[in-house]
Amino acid sequence: MEELLAGTDLERLKEGAIVAGLVTEIRQNEVVVDVGGKSEGAIPNVEFIDVGELEIGSEIEVLLERMEGPEGSPILSFDKAEQKKNWENILSKCEEGSILAGRVKAKVKGGLIVSIGVDSFLPASQIDIQPPKNLDQYLGQTYDFKVVKINAERRNIVISRRELIEEQRHQKRRELLDSIQPGDTRQGVVKNITDYGAFIDLDGLDGLLHITDMSWGRISHPSEMLKQGEEIEVMIIEMDKERERVSLGLKQLVMNPWDGIEKKFPVGEKISGKVVNLVPYGAFVELEEGVEGLIHVTEMSWTKRINKPQEILRVGQEIDAVILGIQKEEKKISLGMKQLESNPWEEAAINYRPGSRVQGKVRNLTSYGAFVELQEGIDGMVHVTDMSWTRKINHPGEVINKGDLVDAIVLEVDTSQQRISLGLKQLSDDPWAEIEHHFKIGDIVEGKVAKVASYGAFVELPNDIDGLVHISQVSEERVEKIGDVINSGDSVKARVIKIDKSERRVGLSIKAANYDADQLAAEAAAYESQTTDNLTSLGDILDEATRDE
């Protein structure tokens, strides 16, 4: 029996051993191999790189995993036999940092299994520059890989395709950086678009095309000019070889429209353009691609007050304008619309000469005066100080109302500031010019109380003049609160005790209204005996007498 056993292959058929076998059959999904045992074993086709290279009767080495499987046949593996044979070979020849070719075999959690003679692990983060979302696309593909880590004890190898790609890209970038210069043009592909520009792939080297270098004209977003994946020609503007950064330009491939701008758009020339943007202070008008001018709101109308350009313009509207000025270095052109028409303010200096009488409707009242419309778009302003010779006007509403038709005198015309000053009080003579013909110190007058203040009462006198009764001149007795004695609308009799022509003031005394000549003389004599000053106002005498009481 021992001789019989020695003559068979049973001694070599041990589980875990690599044995030789003959290919006896090649089926659709498996290859049948005879290893000399009591039956044949089947190996899945996926374990062979190319089943077509096998021939019936050819000898191959396989790993005998088990002598007998569930169906009684031996369990064989060609792939594991290759790995077992290759592992020692790999360890002897391969080290960390080596580059090997491998075929992607399977997808596992966290990455891929790659055969480089033995199975190795390729983490998903190391497959490409950007980790892919779909790993199935790599199955069955052959690539070069870099060995990152070898664990001999656990027979584990970690590889990376990304590091290899990055090294290749870095080398390619260095070669490209060494070959280009500012001013060169290159073909590139739009890789990514952001709010501030676009990144262009120059065959492995990314360059930034800033939004300001895309067009000489106005663009709101890079997507208006570029699409991701589009191939474009760009110019190299700046380079930083150490940081591997490149600035690109698109507009630099065409002539700068601002070159010779003064000849194309002379100051004073009428031009046509399209409104491309409206802002609170004006409108931007495109004169040609890359050239815009600004019409300030103050240059839109001679007479209308434009608060915002949307009142008369809209984006996309074609308009005419006049070139007012050019600042080439700052790329600014000032435009005007009102210059297309004659300036009505130049005619205003002729039509509204100082001293002439005009008529108009009160258009608006402010705290300091009233605006009177003289013609469409031209207003004159009556300041509160020019409404009355004699009264202090705190608000124009005390004299006139909005919508009133009023006459006025032209005082001044300032065409540069587009202002016309008007006066109401100038319609009549100044009563203070001849005040001595209207009132004299000592006169008895009667009038109605117009207003009461804490310090006295204002009394309406003839010729539209107001007189002031100081609280000390109301009564012989001391008055603490004038409202207890006098109210608005009361009719009073008083004596003129003071006239100040320079200050336009008339002082009145109610208590002195009933003084006879002897009393007045006695008050004056008593006062004069106390001072040698030359005083001409009876009011001064009475005031002093009051203080002596």
**Contact 276/286 with Cβ under 8 angstroms?**
yes
**180-253, CATH topology level:** OB fold (Dihydrolipoamide Acetyltransferase, E2P) (2.40.50)
Distance (Å, whole) CA 108 – CA 544: 114
pLDDT of residue 7: 44
Q: What is the pLDDT of residues 351-373, one digit of tens each?
A: 889 999 999 999 999 999 999 99
CB atoms within 10 A of CB 58: 11
Percent of the chain with pLDDT over 70: 92
Residues 6+ apart with CB under 8 A from 6: none
CATH number for the segment(s) 344-427 = 2.40.50.140
In the chain, where are the structural domains located? 2-81, 94-165, 180-253, 261-340, 344-427, 435-548
CA distance 140 to 103: 6
Neighbours of 144 (CB within 10 A): 14
Confidence tier at 37 by pLDDT (50, 70, 90): low
More confident residue, 342 or 310: 310
β-strand pairing of 245-249 with 231-240: antiparallel
Is pLDDT above 90 for 401? yes
Ranking 40-44, 115-119, 422-426, 521-525 by mean pLDDT, the lowest is 521-525
Rg (CA), the chain: 53
pLDDT at 6 (0 to 100): 44
Per-chain mean pLDDT for the chain: 83
Structure tokens at 3: 């001789």
Stretch 379-398: mean pLDDT: 88
Token pair listed for 307: 């608060």
b/e for 150-178, b at 16 or more Cβ within 10 A? Answer: beeeeeebbbbbbbbbeeeeeeebeebbe
pLDDT at 309 over 80: yes
Digit-coded pLDDT (tens) for 180-230:
888 888 888 888 888 888 888 887 778 888 988 888 777 788 888 888 888
2-81 and 180-253 in the same fold: yes
Task: Domain 261-340: give its CATH code.
Answer: 2.40.50.140
Asked whether 16 and 64 are in contact (CB, 8 A), the reply is yes
Q: How confident is the model at residue 534, as a pLDDT?
A: 38
Q: Which CATH superfamily is domain 94-165 in?
A: Nucleic acid-binding proteins (2.40.50.140)
Instruction: Please give the model's pTM, rounded to 2 decimal places.
Output: 0.42
Residue 75 has pLDDT above 80, yes or no: yes
Q: 471: how many CB neighbours lie within 10 A of its CB?
A: 19
Six-digit token pair at 213?
Answer: 């270098």
Task: Kindly provide the residue ranges of all beta strands, DSSP E only, lying in 194-269, ordered along the sequence.
Answer: 197-201, 206-210, 231-240, 245-249
CATH fold of 435-548 reads OB fold (Dihydrolipoamide Acetyltransferase, E2P) (2.40.50)
Q: What is the distance between the alpha carbons of residues 140 and 112, in angstroms, rounded to a whole number?
A: 11
Tens-digit pLDDT profile for residues 499-508: 888 788 888 9
Window from 43-52, 168-177, 457-466, 503-512 with minimum mean pLDDT? 168-177
Rounded to an integer, what distance in angstroms lies between the CA atom of residue 534 and that of residue 112? 119
Do the Cβ atoms of 124 and 132 come closer than 8 Å?
yes
Q: Compute the distance between CA of residue 120 and CA of residue 270 in angstroms, rounded to an integer.
A: 77
Q: In what order do the strands lie in the sheet with 30-34?
A: 41-44, 30-34, 18-26, 59-66, 75-77
Residue 224: predicted pLDDT = 84
Residues 297-305, mean pLDDT to the nearest whole number: 85
CATH code for residues 2-81: 2.40.50.140
